[in-house]
Structure 1
């Protein structure tokens, strides 16, 4: 578009009726118009690590025969059997054996049929699958039936392997079955799921080990000498564990941790345990529960207490610091007790130094014990300590990343006795990213427990994480919960903040009408409260939405007024942000020279503020402006300096923006290979989060790649 062009001259045009295929609406077209097929994404490879199997040759052979028998239609196999029999291990191992035959990818979902947290929604699983198969977020419908139809369309001609673990019902599984005759789906469940079998799904029943296989498992864990010396007791132990692999593994871990403990002692203990349980439970559950109970009973009281409390953590993985806060112990003590629980085969330690329950059934066991042995008040206090630690630690991380944000309310829970701190911004963003799932779950937990102030303060404390790293879809869910919590506790100030946060998230996803509604609701609150600076902030955000919609004249008028209002109030940082926004709109109009003037002023104002993130943003915009003006050397210098600054901060969003600018610069100067590499690196940084930024970078890369 020409510099200073009057946008009111642009002809308004509409398209009505049904359009099939690509469509371009434009007033003027310079050069050719080309449509390009999106570049291929790497095929998904989501299978869990391959487990070690003992004596499952017959079941593996049966699975292989089914592959040979079923032709010209999708193969779906239902692997059933009692709890703890090894259905998942068998299915994962077989999936690894045949994965090379499925070049279009291997998908995995834990359907959480018996997790204690409720079964997974097929709608959510389909969303994840469609993402993994390369469908852009903005093209994924919200309705389950529509998602299922799109999934069948996408998989129609693909060789895909799908593993659906721990299914609860046939209705949960049906939408997740791919359509391609070259596909294979493996479903595991404790139930026969007759509804699937009636539709032609093939069944494989996994039975308990025989005696020799059970002894082989014990031999592998304890050594041949120890087993053969106590063969009689080992045989009795096998039968007491009902020859269930999970129960045997738990018992073996307990024995391996005590090399001098006679197997006879465990036999006696299990026998007594099962006498108590036999009248209450079916025999398979007796074996499993008694094996877990035995491991639990030999724990020292402090380890047993931590084991129970760990089931209260809302996320799947946790560190020693979270466990310490939960149990009100030191981190050193927490590490010791977590090690003890890991040695007992109740927990598994992960590569990043965190922990998770060894199996969903183990977590459920711990949860049942907590409900039975710890009063509700005790459990609530533990949850409060955990939420308080998350809130205090997220606030510390936030302060490292955004030190100018002062006087933030983070007092909904008492501060933890032992605080986690960070050396710098990189450490802070690394922690926030690693704990993202737990923090999001903690927001939901706090809201569900009626701790509304905690919920919205936690959601607000995640702002820096989302600003630096994106995750827009997850961000919307967190901020919707934060908004609901703010409204529940009747805090208008908190409600206004959450409305602004949610509006920005919706705008980034292209949901502009919803964003305007949120910003206007926030604007009304700030006017009622007499919060002039925040009122201006909502007006600024409405200007940004106008720019995103292409209403540049409205956006410029509003941002000019906002800049003047901030300047009158003497708030340098926010004046600078409004200037950056204004410069961005001018760049979209092709007015690079005007944009540089505003950006240089913003840079001058930000020198007085500890805000390295927005100083780097100024550099990115200046890089674009200089490139548009033909000042390629200056543009390269600005963009590389901004990339270095964003890298030091650990901001993937910022790095992606700088890389996109460098790609544009390389393209302008005829360095096509460099441009493609920059766009690819930018796309990798921003991730498939459905944002406008992701869609824009992907479109540039897709269009550019077809000319190479």
Structure 2
């Protein structure tokens, strides 16, 4: 039988019993373009784009265009309008990414965008490589023969764009940027400059929004209004929206108000930005007082997005009212609603405008109170998520800010973990903001509350910065217990990143702190972590000594769960010594201490360790059972770190059994799940893979 297979292929000889193949539902062809925006008189640049596409089609090479111009000039509108026109020529998909080149929180990385694009093109998440080079290579492979249209909005650098260019000669890429990205132009991209509208086109845009009758009734005022808006589509659209909502205003009145606003803003802005900001000021003045207050306060939000719950806390209003006001601001084109019920400012200039209004309109104590309520909401909600994920962690200090009046709850651990993941950037920004504003207790408590997220998902490089801030905040509080906790957190991250010596230094400082405080339970924790580091450094005997000392203290203190964790880590060291049978004995002692507190994560971790121990003892069948159960549990918990650990061990078992290709697949899958190129685990996985190249 000959032909091409799509999906899974199974080769077999004899089948005993039933055979069931379950194919995952394939993703639809990606159609990610945003809706077409209003476009007026862009005949020349549209013709340039048409010519570019035709020339590259004849040459048989991928087409790319760099659309540049000032803020608010209509680059995105032009790109979207042309993309919608030519989309029938690209039936294999249209991809879109906002690269956020000028966002306050920094641009989006090509690593992130490639992950989204590959998944949209049908690559399962578990097969997407973790490092940029691997994702870029897979993207080139996947796009090689596809007819794709890619729109990359608001790019900052050529390096941000290059990995995102498809390789198919039947593809086209549109890039918008305020900057002339010489690196892209040198690589063959066609430069398309978008200038301000001419007067006639600006008047047409005004007519589209407020009606031809009003514009033609006051031609001089209409022309003056377009000039005050610098003939920029964004500024004109905002000003026209205000006129449309005020039918009794004349264009002359609007022009007079806009001229006054420009004089007021002249000390803050120059050139085209002033036209945009003055138009925004008019939009702001048209808001009802409650919506205007929300708009100002949102300028204080440290993160890039905000939900109804966060906004409610910020403004001290009910969540239902917050969502209503967010809708009003969205209708006014000041905010954009995003996935997951969150919002962001429509443009970086809008955010700056709101922040300036907050600084000039709100009293300092009002601003501080709003930020404190927001930080309290993040802390309280993160703590609630933490309790859903790890209910046995009780008595934790989470009292740095008053408890919010309304707090997000979660149906279960999965919802809690997804909230922590989706709010990760905002929580990180909140830690920094709290520390910078002198709210040090909030900063370290919020860092500690994020522990479950890091335990399940890793994010080690990002976590390193957060925990360094948390340690600095704890020390600024002169809180020795907080300092000890943050030293332990930071040490674990450093060890995971392959820095065991620095990790040991942090654990040693923490150990001395706990001994001074007489905290025996915490002292044992530092000993246990020093054992982990000793194992990483290859000093197995020292590691065993530390673990046994920690277990003795834990048992004296009645800390059964923590004793079980030390037993698991002791078992891990015995496995590396070739003492699999001994490891099984200690690991089985750990089970009661984990089951009595319903610690599902560490129960799954125990199964993975038991699988490795039984493999070391030669019982490969029992090893496989434990490892597959551990993988199933970690998958159900949503832990990428745990899944990778199970897959690494399954790969070791497959290699031990002579199934080298199965081992390769398991290790490659583990690498793709971790999405972190700089950790000790990823380095170890690469070593495993390299070992398969040795025929012996």
**Is 2:259 the counterpart of 1:275?**
yes
Q: In 1, are the aligned partners of 2:334 and 2:350 still within 8 Å (CA)?
A: yes
Q: In 2, are the aligned partners of 1:77 and 1:204 still within 8 Å (CA)?
A: yes
Give the drift of 1:81.
3.8
What's the counterpart of residue 308 of structure 2?
A: 320
Give the drift of 1:635.
2.6
Distance 1:636 1:176, change over 3 A: closer
Q: C-alpha distance in 1, partners of 2:629/2:206? A: 60
Q: Please list the CA deviations of residues 85-112 of structure 1 after superposition, one character each: whole Å capped at 9, or x if unmatched.
A: 1245557888998999xxxx99985443
Say how many residue pairs are matched.
628
Q: C-alpha distance in 1, partners of 2:131/2:526? A: 27
Out of 415, 431, 442, the residue aligned to residue 403 of structure 2 is 415
What's the counterpart of residue 56 of structure 1?
A: 42
Q: C-alpha distance in 2, partners of 1:514/1:561? A: 22
Distance 1:218 1:684, change over 3 A: farther
**Is 2:330 the counterpart of 1:346?**
no
Give the drift of 1:59.
3.0
Q: C-alpha distance in 2, partners of 1:431/1:551? A: 40
Q: C-alpha distance in 1, partners of 2:253/2:412? A: 52
Please give the root-mean-square deviation of Cα atoms over the aligned residues, in Å.
4.6
Give the drift of 1:398.
1.0
**Is 2:71 the counterpart of 1:83?**
yes
What's the counterpart of residue 375 of structure 2?
A: 387
Q: C-alpha distance in 1, partners of 2:630/2:191? A: 58
Out of 274, 282, 285, the residue aligned to residue 297 of structure 1 is 285
What's the counterpart of residue 298 of structure 2?
A: 310
> Unaligned regions of 5+ residues in structure 1, if any?
1-45, 141-150, 168-172
What's the counterpart of residue 487 of structure 1?
A: 475
Structure 1 length normalisation: TM-score? 0.76
Out of 547, 550, 553, the residue aligned to residue 565 of structure 1 is 553
**Is 2:221 the counterpart of 1:232?**
no
Alignment map for 1:252-651 (pairs within 5 Å)? 253=241, 258=245, 262=247, 265=249, 267-280=251-264, 281=266, 284-651=272-639
Distance 1:65 1:518, change over 3 A: farther
Give the drift of 1:357.
0.8
**Is 2:647 the counterpart of 1:659?**
yes
> Unaligned regions of 5+ residues in structure 2, if any?
1-29, 119-127, 145-149
Q: In 1, are the aligned partners of 2:524 and 2:549 still within 8 Å (CA)?
A: no
What's the secondary structure of 1:496's corresponding residue?
helix
Give the drift of 1:473.
0.4
Give the drift of 1:251.
4.1
Alignment map for 1:215-230 (pairs within 5 Å)? 227-228=211-212, 230=214
Q: C-alpha distance in 2, partners of 1:295/1:492? A: 50
What's the counterpart of residue 147 of structure 2?
A: none
> Which region of structure 1 is more displaced relative to structure 2, 271-280 or 578-587?
271-280
Give the drift of 1:702.
6.6
> Which region of structure 1 is more displaced relative to structure 2, 47-56 or 311-320?
47-56
Alignment map for 1:160-239 (pairs within 5 Å)? 165=154, 205-211=193-199, 213-214=201-202, 227-228=211-212, 230=214, 232=216, 236=222, 238=226
Structure ranking higher on relative contact order (CA contacts 8 Å, 6+ apart): 1
Q: Please list the CA deviations of residues 302-341 of structure 1 after superposition, one character each: whole Å capped at 9, or x if unmatched.
A: 1111111111111111110000000001111011111111
Q: In 2, are the aligned partners of 1:563 and 1:578 still within 8 Å (CA)?
A: yes
Distance 1:615 1:174, change over 3 A: closer
Q: In 1, are the aligned partners of 2:154 and 2:177 still within 8 Å (CA)?
A: yes
Q: In 1, are the aligned partners of 2:277 and 2:349 still within 8 Å (CA)?
A: no
Q: In 2, are the aligned partners of 1:87 and 1:206 still within 8 Å (CA)?
A: yes
Q: In 1, are the aligned partners of 2:258 and 2:279 still within 8 Å (CA)?
A: no
Q: In 2, are the aligned partners of 1:676 and 1:705 still within 8 Å (CA)?
A: no
Give the drift of 1:546.
1.3
What's the counterpart of residue 19 of structure 1?
A: none
